[in-house]
Amino acid sequence: MIGWFDTPGGPTLAELVTQGLSSIEGGYDRLSAKFDQSVFRTPDPVLERLSSQLFACHRALDIGCGTGAVLQRLQPFAEQLVGLDLSRNMLEIARRQLGPEAHLIQGDFLKTYWENQFQLITCVGVLGHILVADQDEFFRRVERALCPGGVFLTVVGSLTGRPWVYLPALAFDTLMRLRNLLWKPTFVMYYLSFVLPQAARVIERHGLSCEVIEGNFPAPFNQLKILRATRPG
C-alpha cells in the first residue's frame, strides 16, 4: 500500500508522514512543491473524462482547486474563473500555471456565502476532506451558490463488488481515524466517506437533481463515475 504513494518526483515517505501529521492546510502547504508529481493530483485520464461534461458558462467555481488542474480544463469554457483552496502555497502554484485571469481565493467553502453566483461548480478529489457531519452543510452551500439551472460536477467511487478497492481504502480510513484520535491537529482524509450510492442521496437532500454518469474511465480508475447535480430552474 505504501508503494502506491511512491511516484517519480513525488514526495518521499518521510514527507508524506510529515504532511499526515499536519493540519489539512499545513499539510498541503508542505506538499505543494511536489503535489503535481504525487498520486494525489487528479490523473489526466480522469480529467479528460470530466471535461466531456463541461460547458460554456459565464462564471465557474472549482472548490479545492489545489494547483489548478481542474481550473485549466475549465479555462476554455468559463468567462470568469474562480478557484478556492485552503492552502496558500498550492494557490501560488495555481497562479503561475493559470495566469492572472483566474480569481484565486484562500479559504474554506464551509465559510463562504455565495448566492446565485455560478452556472458551474466543480469539486474533484476534495470531498474526502469533508467530515460526514459537514456534508449536508457543504451541499446546502453548493445549492445556494449555483444559479437556477446551474450544475455541480464531481467524480466519485462506486465500490460495490470491488473488494480489491474497498479493503485498502477501509484500511487507510481506519489508520486516519486512529491518527485523528491520537494526534492534533486532525487531518481529515477518508476515501470511503463520500461514495455511491450514499453520495447521490446526500446531494439530493438539498434539492439538486442527481445523475450518475458512467464516464468510461480506463483502468485503474474503473470504479469512478461522474456525478452531475443540477439546481432546478
pLDDT band, residue 2 (cuts 50/70/90): very low
**pLDDT tens digits, residue range 25-44?**
999 999 999 999 988 899 99
CA 124 to mean position of chain CA atoms: 3
pTM beyond 0.85, yes or no: yes
Show contacts of 192-195: CB within 8 Å, 24+ apart. 192/159, 192/166, 193/127, 193/128, 193/130, 193/131, 193/132, 193/135, 194/127, 194/128, 194/130, 194/135, 194/156, 195/156, 195/157, 195/158, 195/159
pLDDT value of position 160: 75
pLDDT value of position 6: 57
- For domain 2-230, is the CATH number 1.20.960.40? no
Q: Is the pLDDT of residue 91 over 60?
A: yes
High-pLDDT (> 90) share of the chain, %: 82
Residue 35 gets which letter from DSSP? Answer: G
